Structure formats: structure tokens, C-alpha cells
A and B are shown apart, each in its own frame.
Chain A
Amino acid sequence: MTPATPKPETITRKQSIIQPEPDTGKPLVFNTKGLNLYYGKTHALKDIHLPIAENEVTAIIGPSGCGKSTYLKALNRMVEMVESVKITGEVLYRDSNIFDRSFKVEELRTRVGMVFQKPNPFPKTIFDNVAYGPRIHGIRDKKTLKQIVEKSLRGAAIWDEVKDRLDENAYSLSGGQQQRICIARCLAIEPDVILMDEPTSALDPKSTMKVEELVQDLKEKYSIVIVTHNMQQAARISDKTAFFLNGEVVEYDATDTIFSNPSDKRTEDYISGRFG
């Protein structure tokens, strides 16, 4: 998608609360600067400024339709699959703008993996699911593939459950297992960042707990952005939280601060369950 004509007149909000640079001193994987996104005439994201730090879990919370999934999908440009979409502003991934013409979207998605809301394994064997990414990136050697598959399945904490049934169809697994297969499939491309779009909303509490524990382990090696409807989940697993409302970032801060001492009234109302 080529950047659309800028509409500076629509950008009138002050960025009072958001500090573009975080104070943790950790390097940034993503830095969003003045991102505007339109679905046709609907202004879905309004002047977003948001840093995403390395090896942290950044949670994005907000009510339905606030633009949190749209923002997540903008980070790996999946949002461009909607044809009417128009984007202005910048998203820097490791200092290069992902919307630049020279930035190949396939390359971006190799560095930025995604786990979706509904477990979406391919109707293939467990092995072929996890080996899918490495194969499309040109790895043909059986031994290498086997090693990647094992490493990824271990990384997604599901190796012990499936190691004897790698040749079975991924659909024979339970929903929670399928989601961890999808996480393994994402790990297999050895991404830098993992985007998770409400990864536990289709799962039962036990599977949810497993995925949450997994997220905690994964942040040692990966940077994670997770969209969630579940505020307790955000509070449990994230380091930073951004609160989205009507396509804007209302507040972004350390998760502890957001949940104990939010500076915006609307954030407080939302996290205390008064709306949303």
C-alpha cells in the first residue's frame, strides 16, 4: 500500500500524555510516529505515537472497535489485506519505516511473526505446520527442518505433548494445543517480534494459563505485542500497557502505573470496569 495523501488538518490532538521515548533505556523494536489509518472514510487510527521496547511484553487494551487489532495488524502490514485501507505517518521497525516502498512486506513478516485470535493451523500435519515458515524461506534439508521443528515446539511448550504424533493432522489437537502449534509455527521463522491478537480469547482457562506462562518465557528472547480484551491478563503478563479508545492512544505507561495510578480519567473508568 502506498502512503496516501497526508491530511494534516485532521491531526489536531495534543500528545500530552505519551512520551515518545520510553525511560527504560531498552532499545526499541518499533516506534510509531504519527500513524493515521483510514478504512475508506472511517478514521480508524488517529495520530498514534507508541514505542515498543525490546524483550518486553507490551499489552494493548481497549474496548471493541477501538483500533487495537488494527494497530497490531499495521505493525506487520497485514492490515493492507483490506483493500480500502489508507495509511499516513511512520512505523519504524529497527529504525526503518515499514511503509517505505523499499521495505518488502515479506521481509517484515519474517522478522515480525503473528499469532491470531482463532487458532489457525493449516490442514496439514503438525510437522508440516511448523516447518511451513522455514520451507517458504528456502530451507529444504530434512535434518535442519527436524531440528527447527523440535526447537520451535519446545519453545512453544508443546513438544512433550506432540513429539510422538508429528505426522498427525494439526486439527486432531485441542484448541489450546492448536494455538501453541501456531505459536511454534511463528517461532520457526525465528522472528524478532511476535504480535499476538487476543491469542487466548478462544481458549479455555487452563489453556489460557499455559499460553500466558509461555508469553512470560518468550519475552526472554522475543519482543511481544499482545492485544487483549482481558485486563487481568494485561496486568498479569505485560510490562507496558497502552490503552486505546476510539482510535487514539489515551494512555501508555508501565503496566503497574496504568493499573494502579492511571493519569487519565477514561483509563481509570475502563480498567475499573465502568465501560467497555
Chain B
Amino acid sequence: MEYIDIDRVKKRMDKRLFINKMVKGIFFASAMFGLVVLAILLYRVIADSIGWISMDFLTGLLSTSAERAGIRGAIIGTLWLMAIVGPVTMILGVGTAIYLEEYAKKGKIHSIIQTNIANLAGVPSIVFGILGLTIFVRLFGLGASVIAGGLTMSLLVLPIVVVAAQEAIRSVPSHLREASYGMGATKWQTIKNVILPASIAGILTGVILALSRAIGETAPLVVIGIPALLIPVPTNVTDNFTALPMQIYYWTLDAVLVAEYANLAAATIVVLLIVLFILNSAAILIRNKFSKRY
């Protein structure tokens, strides 16, 4: 007795192949959708910004007159922000990851911290803004300063760094740990001499991805009251500052008043995208360059 009737198989073959083709088409369209939207967005932004990006625009100070406005303040403000977010997330994030992976016993507390970090990654950025406003701006009285903005932003991206660093640390083969412990090394010596050198690529990648998230975030900055219209350039961490996304936000809002502000916003978006592109490329380069096989 045969179960497979070759005639029926033949009859249904065309239908099966047609369904297969159709499904492939649907999936291709889904994949293209995002790409097309992004392309349109990029086209619009770049088209609007043509003629507006110049050395004067990059190095000039902010002005209400569109022709004279520059984003030097916002660029330097963003750099200041990164100067806080980078080290703070590196130290706190990598510290947390090391504790969880190497020191903490895998028990209840471990899983509570782990779950919390995962949840924290899903908290909307505006909530972090409110947190920053309550703690750093008001309670610590830091005002809308670089340090307040930087710390708020650090909290926001911390989970990214923790998770990336944990994964990097976990991927260090255990036989390397054993070799180190087997010679009488302490945990810290093993971490410092074996685990961190072997996982630094993954950790740096995580930090850079976190930075590129922080560089584009606007909501927390709006909530903690970072001004968009600020002429002086910050010179230290307690100065007020503005950042690229704030500048974009402000110019987009006011484009109804002054039509040229739309072009300024587009030009700033292009600058921001270029910075993001550079950061992401650096992350990929680091990952490729340092990735080792054991």
C-alpha cells in the first residue's frame, strides 16, 4: 500500500509552487518597506539640507536669523553629553556586568537584578527624563546642566551597556578562566588579565551603540528642561547646554514661523546622521578587529 499518490502530487505541485512564490513576495515586500521609508526620509532630509550645510553652519553660533544660524553650540553640547555618558555608562555598566557574571551567585537576587535590567531597557525614555528631572535637576540642584543631562542619559542607556558587556563576558571561554584560577589567581586578577582583554571588543561595541542611542535621544532632554535656544557654548559640566536633537526639535517646531528653519533642521539631521554613521562604523570595525577565536 502506497501513501504517496504520484498523480495527486503532480496535480498539486503547481499550486504549492505558486503559494511558495507568493509568500516569498510578501516577505520581500516587508523587507523593502522599511528600506523604502528610510530612503524617502533620507532623500527629503538631504534635499532640504542642500546648500545649508557649510563650515559657517557647523562652526557658527545660534541665531534667530536663519541665514546666520550655526550649530556649534549644539555640537559642542552633544560632545559634552557624550563625555559624561561614555565614562559613566562604561564604569557602571561594565561594573554591573562583571558583578553579575563573575561574582554574584546565580540565585534569587541575581535573577531579580537581571529581570530589572531587562525591564529597565524597556522603560520609555520620557520616564527617564522625569527621573532625571526629579533627582538630578531638582533634588541635587544641578539645573539643566551638562552633568544633569549626561547622568539622565547615562541611566537611559545603561541597560544596553550592561547587557552587551554581560554577553561579551559570557562569551569568554571558561577554559581560560580555569587556567587562571588554576594558578592561584584571584577573581579580580582573572577578570583584569584574562576576561576583560578577551571581552573588550564586545564591551566597546555595546558602549558605542549606547552612545549612538544617547546622541539621538530628545525626550529626556525636553523633560529636564534643556533649552533649545541657547547662544553661549558650554565650557564645563555645570554649564547649561543644548544638543543636536534639541536643536532639530526646536527648528522643526518653529518651521511654521520661519520657513527656513525647516532647512536648518534638515541640515542638523544630516549632521546627526553622519555622527551616528561614524559611531556605528566604529562599533563594527572594533568588533571585527578585536574578535578573536580561541
Which of B176, B183, B197 is in CB contact (< 8 Å) with A186?
B183
B184 touches A78 (CB 8 A): no
Taking the complex as formed, is B181 at the interface, i.e. its CB lies under 8 A from any CB of chain A?
yes
| Residues 138-179 (chain B) with a chain A CB within 8 angstroms | 173, 175-179
- CB of B184 within 8 A of CB of A81, answer no
Q: A120-B175, A122-B176, A122-B194 are in contact. Are A76 and B182 (CB under 8 A)?
A: yes
A189 with B183, Cβ < 8 A, contacts A83-B105, A123-B292 known: yes
B164 to chain A, nearest CB (A): 20
Residue contact B193 to A133, C-beta cutoff 8 Å: no
Contacting residues, chain B, for A116 (C-beta < 8 A): 175, 178-179, 182
Q: Check A81–B179 contact: CB distance below 8 A.
A: no
Interface pair A120/B176, CB less than 8 Å apart? yes
Give Cα A118–Cα B178 distance, bound, in whole angstroms.
11
Q: Does B108 contact A (CB under 8 A)?
A: no
Asked if residues B184 and A123 are in contact (CB atoms below 8 Å), the reply is no
- Of all chain B residues, which has the CB nearest A133? B183
Q: Is the CB of A106 within 8 A of B186?
A: yes
Which chain A residues border B184 with CB–CB below 8 Å? Answer: 106-110, 133, 136-137, 189
Of A106, A118, A185, most buried by chain B (CB within 10 Å of CB) is A106
B280 at the interface (CB under 8 A from A): no
Q: Which residues of A contact B178 (CB under 8 A)?
A: 78, 81, 114, 116, 120
Cβ of A113 within 8 Å of any chain B Cβ, yes or no, is: yes
A113: contacting residue among B105, B173, B182, B292, CB under 8 A: B182
Is B198 in the interface zone, CB < 8 Å from A? yes
Q: Mark A55-67, 1 if CB is under 8 A from B, else 0.
A: 0000000000000
Contact of B186 with A78 in the complex, beta carbons under 8 Å: no
Q: Contacts of B106 on A, CB cut-off 8 Å?
A: 83
In the assembled complex, the CB of B121 is this many whole angstroms from the nearest CB of chain A, namely 27
0 or 1 for each of B185-203: is its CB under 8 Å from A? (1 = yes): 1100100011001100000
Q: Count the A-B residue pairs with Cβ separation under 8 angstroms: how many?
A: 66
Question: What is the interface residue range for chain B against chain A?
Answer: 20 to 34
B181/A109 in contact, CB under 8 A: yes
- Measured CB to CB, the closest approach of chain B to A113, in angstroms, equals 7
Q: Which residue of A lies closest to B106 (CB)?
A: A83
B180 part of interface (Cβ distance < 8 Å): yes
The answer on a CB contact under 8 Å between A136 and B193 is: yes
B292 contact set on A, CB distance < 8 A: 123
B294 sits at the interface (CB 8 A): yes
Cβ-defined partner of B175 (8 Å) among A107, A109, A118, A135 = A118
Q: B180 — which chain A residues lie within 8 A by C-beta?
A: 122, 132, 136
A226, CB-defined interface residue at 8 Å: no
**Smallest CB gap from A182: residue in B:** B179
Contact across chains for A120 and B183 when beta carbons are under 8 A apart: no
Residues on the B chain within 8 Å of A133, using CB:
183-184
CB-CB nearest in chain B for A107? B184
- Chain A nearest CB from B291 CB (Å) reads 11
Residue pair A122, B181 in contact (C-beta under 8 Å): no
Q: Give chain A residues whose Cβ lies under 8 Å from the Cβ of B186.
A: 106, 136
Chain A minimum-CB-distance residue to B186: A106
**Contact assessment for A106 and B176 in the assembled complex, using a CB-CB cutoff below 8 Å:** no
- Residue on A nearest B192 in the bound complex, by CB: A136
Interface string of A119-158 (1 = CB under 8 A from B): 0111100000000110111000000000000000000000
Q: A123-B294, A132-B180 are in contact. Are A106 and B185 (CB under 8 A)?
A: yes
A84 to B11, CA, bound (A): 60
Report the bound CA distance from A185 to B294 in whole Å. Answer: 18
Give the residues in chain B near A76, CB-CB below 8 Å: 182
Pair A132/B183 contact, Cβ less than 8 Å? yes
Q: How far is the CA of A133 from the CA of B186 in the complex (A)?
A: 11
B contact residues around A113 at 8 Å (CB):
182-183
CB closest residue in chain A, given B189? A136
Most buried by B among A110, A136, A182: A136
Residues of A contacting B185 with CB < 8 Å? 106, 136
Kindly provide the distance from the CB of A111 to the nearest chain B CB, expressed in whole angstroms.
Answer: 8
Max chain A CB contacts within 10 Å: which of B176, B180, B181, B184? Answer: B184
Q: Are A110 and B183 touching (Cβ within 8 A)? A: yes
A166 to B277 Cα, complex, angstroms: 40
Closest Cβ of chain B: how far from A61's Cβ, in Å? 22
In the assembled complex, 28 residue pairs joining A and B whose CB atoms fall closer than 8 Å, in A order, are: A76-B182, A81-B178, A81-B181, A83-B106, A107-B184, A109-B181, A109-B183, A110-B184, A113-B182, A114-B182, A116-B175, A116-B179, A116-B182, A118-B175, A120-B173, A120-B175, A120-B176, A121-B179, A122-B180, A123-B176, A123-B294, A132-B183, A136-B185, A136-B189, A136-B193, A137-B184, A182-B179, A189-B184
Residues of A within 8 A of B (CB): 76, 78, 81, 83, 106-110, 113-114, 116, 118, 120-123, 132-133, 135-137, 171, 182, 185-186, 189
3 nearest CB pairs, A to B: A110-B184, A109-B184, A120-B175
